[in-house]
Chain A
Amino acid sequence: MDKEFNDKTPIYLQIMDLIKMDIVTGKLKLKDKLPSVREMAGNLRVNPNTLQRSYQELERLGIVYTQRGTGTFVGEGKNMVDDLKKEMAKEIIDSFILRMKSLGFTDNEIIESVSNETLEAKQNE
């Protein structure tokens, strides 16, 4: 996993996003074991303490759980993947709307342009 980080935002948040993304896309399945802190820190070339913090935060959010002595695993909540998907979608939409508004689009114009684009994409399929 080679990843360029944007060092302007905290690294531990970016690592959390990476893991969330892997869960949503099915790269990591429910109950899968995550790489050890050390292994993942080595792969990503980050401080092991930073990775520890990402795992701890994910655990606090109920996305992963730690079993003493065996490692960290993806949670097994039924709605977790859907919830994560919704949460990540909301982030994308929020920033999209903000950027469209800064271009001067009104709410209706934003909706219109999205439906036009999706229609066009469908026709091109």
Chain B
Amino acid sequence: MNNLLKSENICKSYLNKKALRGVNLDIMPGKILGLLGPNGSGKTTFLKIAAGILHASSGQILIDGEKPGVYTKSIVSYLPDNEYLLKWMKIKDAVRYFKDFYSDFNEKKAKELLIFMNLDENSTVKSLSKGMKEKLKLTLVLSREAKLYILDEPLGGVDPTAREKILDAIINNFSENSSMIITTHLVNDIERIFDDVAFISDGEIVLQGNAEELRIDKKKSIDELYREVFQ
């Protein structure tokens, strides 16, 4: 099996600050990778490079064998951790916007997910709570039939019940033919859905491996390992 994503020695500097210092990561098809690290560790920078929004200063990243560009953007579904939905939009406008923009957008799946998330398509984005906005963003991103889903902090700032809904949506909509990278610092809530984990600290991967093997080797949960690595 070929890697769906392969990054070799990716470095990224912003002016004189080094955000990434040689990141090597592989993701196989059908796997979920947890990219774990505190704020400012370089998670988002790495994801933006994979999503084709930022360019690496050096190193190479290949997604399905190609450098980030038009093709990779067509097979990567990216959930950024910032706001990108326009306030005046109704949920159904946002769905239509995605449908126009992405040829792999599955409108039927989006409708089902909106129901699952208890979202009314006639609500305006402005009226949504933070948790509801996260649910909507995730609905849109998961409704694409992508090969790689990149979810930047999908659980950030939402309450525990909304978190469970979001986790359920991720698990139920994950297919063996696609892969996911999920970043979080709420490791405890989500560690059971990772195949592999990579800990990133100050722009470097300091520990990575299969989540179950790490539990066996270290006799610790991924959450405990996280606390140990980033104490």
Chain A positions near chain B (C-beta within 8 angstroms): 5-12, 38, 41-42, 44-50, 53
Count of A-B residue pairs with CB < 8 Å: 56
Question: In the bound complex, what is the Cα–Cα distance between A45 and B155 (angstroms)?
Answer: 15
Which of B9-17, B89-97, B100-108, B212-220 binds A? B212-220
The minimal Cβ–Cβ distance linking A52 to chain B, given in whole angstroms, is 9
> Can you identify 16 A-B contacts, CB atoms within 8 angstroms?
A5-B192, A7-B192, A7-B221, A8-B224, A10-B216, A11-B212, A11-B215, A12-B212, A38-B172, A45-B167, A45-B168, A46-B192, A47-B32, A47-B195, A49-B30, A49-B31
- Report whether A49 and B195 are in contact in the complex, using a CB–CB cutoff of 8 Å: yes
Interface residues on B, range: 20 to 34
| Interface flags, B118-144, vs A, CB<8A=1, else 0 | 000000000000000000000000000
B171 at the interface (CB under 8 A from A): yes
| Residues of chain B within 8 A of A6, CB atoms compared | 221
Residues of A within 8 A of B30 (CB): 49
Interface residues, chain B, with chain A CB atoms under 8 Å away: 30-32, 164, 167-168, 171-172, 174, 176, 188, 191-195, 212, 215-216, 219-224
A8 adjacent to B171 (CB under 8 Å): no
Give me 17 other A-B pairs in contact (C-beta within 8 A), A45-B168, A48-B174 excluded: A6-B221, A7-B188, A7-B221, A8-B219, A8-B220, A9-B219, A10-B212, A12-B212, A38-B172, A42-B168, A44-B192, A45-B164, A46-B171, A47-B193, A49-B32, A50-B192, A53-B212
Alpha-carbon distance A109/B222, docked complex (angstroms) = 40
Question: Within 8 Å CB of A42, what residues of B?
Answer: 168, 171-172
A54 to chain B, nearest CB (A): 10
Residue in A5, A8, A41, A47 whose beta carbon sits within 8 Å of that of B194 in the complex: A47
**Distance between A95 CB and nearest chain B CB, rounded to angstroms:** 15
Distance, CA A12 to CA B215, complexed state (A): 11
B192 and A11 form a contact (CB under 8 A): yes
Taken together as a complex, chains A and B put the C-alpha atoms of A10 and B221 apart, in Å, by 9
Query: Nearest B residue to A49 by beta-carbon distance?
Result: B195
Chain A neighbourhood of B32, CB < 8 A: 47, 49
With most chain B CB atoms within 10 A of its CB, the pick from A7, A12, A45, A46 is A7
Tell me the bound Cα distance from A38 to B30 in angstroms: 13
B221 touches A47 (CB 8 A): no
A9 near B172 (CB under 8 angstroms)? no
The answer to whether B171 touches A47, judged by C-beta atoms less than 8 angstroms apart, is: yes
Whether A7 touches B223, Cβ cut-off 8 Å, given contacts A45-B167, A49-B30, is: yes
